[in-house]
Amino acid sequence: MSLRHISSAFSRRINYAGACCLPKKFARQYGQPAAIGRYDEESAKFPGARANYTNSLELVHPESREPFAVYRVMDRDGQVLNAEEEPKLDQGFVQKMYKDMTMLNTMDRILYESQRQGRISFYMTNYGEEGTHIGSAAALKPDDLVYGQYREAGVLLWRGFTLEEFMNQCYGNCEDEGKGRQMPVHYGSKKLNFVTISSPLSTQMPQAVGSAYAMKRSGSGNCVIVYFGDGAASEGDAHVAFNFAATLECPVVFFCRNNGFAISTPTHEQYRGDAVAGRGPAFGITAVRVDGNDVFAVYNATKAACNLAIQENKPVIIEAMTYRVGHHSTSDDSSAYRSMEEVNLWDSTDQPIARLRKYMEQKGWWNESQENEWKESTRKQVLKAFAEAEKRPKPNWKEMFHDVYQDMPSHLRSQMKEMEDHVAKYKDHYPLSSYKS
């Protein structure tokens, strides 16, 4: 299926047939059917659902419908399969895609090792999922609002979050915009319209729907995109978000990174049915499934989904199929639940960075010399930002008392004074030199 067919389905309207239509004044009360189709003149008109009658009993099995196809633009060798689906992006734009994907990869390697050396407390890599980040981020407008889960660093990188800002956050130093209060990789940026990440799974999803509803009310002409994983899709908040978005008709794109594992739980133990895209029809939401290792497929799908969300004030589910090459986090050892042979197979045969590089080489936009030069440059840039962040002191410890109230109440002033006296009395027992004075 081409994206044009998908986009056509996005914009298709339900067609009611003659006498089966309810009077307009009852249309909202009795609901509009989520499915596309025609109805018999004597169709059922119950408040809870709209459907034709049948005189034959049939239990509908989930296997009776075809699963969502996986939309792709390129094969694993970077060959475009249908010229009409190629997004026709210019050389500079595609090179930025590639450079951001490889920069993210380099940053991951260095910060992962730094955690193993005890220099930062925690880290989560993005290995294998770079295409989902960059492909989707490139399709958004800068003022579209982003809610991340915790593995969307590439989205921020595309939007202009600097290496220094990444490093400052992971170190929680005095230059960290979060003032050292968050775990590493829990990024946020008001200027880049990226809501600060929160650890609990799926809590960002109903929040994103609320933001999208506000955008709809204000007529801003923007949409919200919210990222989540296949594991998060099993949380109650995900189902709540889907239902709210559908019934309130909100311009929100639900972007699922289906990487095969919810930490250690494989997808076949998480759900039955047609994965996450298959939930779209059940909730009355337009959905599409894409090859998440094909950055152009992700780009096209996100572009089409955002256009629909904005033009029609409707939610869309994008399920990007990919594979998590790295461990879930530095707290995880994935060799306990999957083989290294499996990981190496995915990393060597279906890697989003390698696929885009092959595409660029076929276009004459990239070569071995550029590759080596860029690899060395990224390493130097990341190490420089890393070294500078490591040298910076932690925020002043008094920051813990600020930013809760606009005007500090008396009980917090009392607690801060008590702490000041305590630290002054026992200053030899605290590493005050590591904190900004």
Would you say 226 and 252 are in contact if contact means Cβ atoms under 8 Å apart?
Answer: yes
Active site residue 220: no
263-272 long-range Cβ contacts below 8 angstroms, 24+ apart:
263/231, 263/328, 263/332, 264/328, 264/332, 264/334, 264/336, 264/337, 265/231, 266/337, 266/338, 267/230, 270/230, 270/231, 270/234, 271/230, 271/233, 271/234, 272/62
State the catalytic residue, choosing from 8, 11, 121, 199: 199
Would you say 131 and 180 are in contact if contact means Cβ atoms under 8 Å apart?
Answer: no
Distance CA 316, CA 304 (A): 10
Distance CA 16, CA 33 (A): 10
Q: Phi-psi region for residue 141, left (φ > 0), alpha (ψ -120 to 50) or beta? A: beta
Torsion of CA 197, 198, 200, 204, to 10 degrees: -60
Which residues lie closer than 8 Å to 129 by C-beta, 6 or more apart?
A: 151, 257, 259, 292, 322, 323, 324, 325, 352
Active site residue 199: yes
State the catalytic residue, choosing from 113, 373, 376, 420: 113
Distance CA 32, CA 22 (A): 10
State the catalytic residue, choosing from 133, 186, 327, 328: 328
Q: Give the CA angle between residues 233, 235, 241 to the nearest 5°.
A: 75
Instruction: Give how far the C-alpha of residue 209 lies from the chain's centroid of Cα atoms, to the nearest Å.
Output: 14
State the catalytic residue, choosing from 189, 211, 329, 334: 329
Active site residue 329: yes
Structure tokens at 365: 């936009």
Element (H, E) at 21: none
Structure tokens at 86: 């190629």
Structure tokens at 317: 């589910």
Would you say 204 and 226 are in contact if contact means Cβ atoms under 8 Å apart?
Answer: yes
HEC per residue, 343-409: HHHHHHHCCHHHHHHHHHHHHCCCCHHHHHHHHHHHHHHHHHHHHHHHHCCECCHHHHHCCCCCCCC
Greatest CA span in the chain, whole angstroms? 86
Residues marked as catalytic: 113, 199, 328-329
